[in-house]
């Protein structure tokens, strides 16, 4: 095999949302699950349409309040809490984007592959399960499981990955989508950083800024971006 040089990445760590799949597909799936619950419990038939319209219009906080109000239902806190529980606990209908699956297939066995993701633990675990990530990535670090101050840009999860993979001296790259929080931590540890700027992703409009080594539109650009040797893995 090819000799690893100091500037060749040994370990690739992926964000999940809008990196391996489109977060809007999870949102849609969640709204559909909540709508089924609302119709069964309250009899309102058009919750999904109202919620999706609000989301498409850029509403990110209080979507459920707005959708219930549009259905003529009082969005009282107990009901909202129940809807959030349904949303986070639902089994999402999502799948790896084709470029993500192709990249994981090509890289698996050539470099170490892991994931680090923020977000409510229950929903992030459900996403990882639905996407079959355990087949490709280890460890899969859910920052929500590490304590309240462990979310990106905190270093906790990144250091945990170094401890579990190749130590602090190996070369890592973090692949994520959100310049506001994804790259500060890994940059400070000397990792390479790759911004995936997918059309249709939630943070698409944000500039990558100076703290990013490469910007790509999807993961088919990942191997060239990292100058990884593009040999097929040994069988």
138-165: per-residue pLDDT in tens? Answer: 999 999 999 989 999 999 999 999 999 9
Of 129, 132, 65, 80, nearest to 104 (Cα)? Answer: 132
Q: What is the pLDDT of residue 184?
A: 96
86: CB partners within 8 A, 6+ apart = 33, 34, 37
Segment 43-51 mean pLDDT: 95
Q: What is the pLDDT of residue 226?
A: 85
Q: What is the pLDDT of residue 8?
A: 82
Q: How far apart are CA 39 and CA 147, in angstroms?
A: 36
Segment 75-102 mean pLDDT: 97
DSSP readout, 77-100? HHHHHHHHHHHHHS-------HHH
The mean pLDDT of the chain is: 93
Q: What is the pLDDT of residue 227?
A: 79
Would you say residue 29 has pLDDT above 90? Answer: yes
Confidence class for position 2, pLDDT limits 50, 70, 90: very low
**Alpha-carbon separation of residue 153 from 176, 181, 182 (angstroms):** 12, 5, 6
177-229: per-residue pLDDT in tens? Answer: 999 999 999 999 999 999 999 999 999 999 999 889 999 999 999 988 887 54
What percent of the chain is helix, strand and coil (3-state, nearest 5)?
Answer: 45, 15, 45
């Amino acid at each position: 095999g090819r000799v690893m040089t100091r500037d060749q990445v040994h370990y690739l760590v992926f964000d999940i949302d809008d990196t391996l799949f489109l977060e809007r597909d999870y949102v849609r799936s969640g709204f559909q699950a909540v709508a089924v619950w609302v119709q069964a419990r309250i009899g309102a038939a058009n919750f999904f349409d109202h919620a999706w319209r609000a989301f498409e219009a850029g509403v990110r906080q209080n979507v459920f309040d707005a959708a219930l109000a549009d259905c003529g239902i009082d969005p009282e806190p107990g009901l909202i809490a129940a809807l959030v529980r349904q949303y986070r606990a639902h089994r999402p209908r999502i799948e790896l984007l084709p470029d993500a699956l192709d990249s994981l297939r090509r890289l698996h066995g050539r470099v170490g592959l892991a994931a680090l993701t923020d977000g409510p633990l229950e929903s992030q675990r459900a996403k990882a399960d639905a996407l079959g990530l355990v087949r490709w990535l280890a460890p899969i670090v859910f920052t929500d499981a590490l304590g309240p101050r462990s979310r990106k840009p905190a270093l906790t999860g990144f250091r945990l990955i170094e401890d579990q993979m190749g130590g602090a001296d190996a070369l890592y790259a973090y692949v994520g989508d959100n310049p506001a929080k994804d790259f500060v931590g890994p940059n400070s540890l000397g990792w390479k950083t790759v911004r995936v700027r997918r059309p249709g992703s939630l943070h698409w409009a944000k500039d990558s800024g100076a703290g990013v080594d490469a910007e790509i539109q999807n993961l088919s650009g990942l191997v060239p971006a990292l100058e990884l040797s593009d040999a097929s893995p040994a069988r």
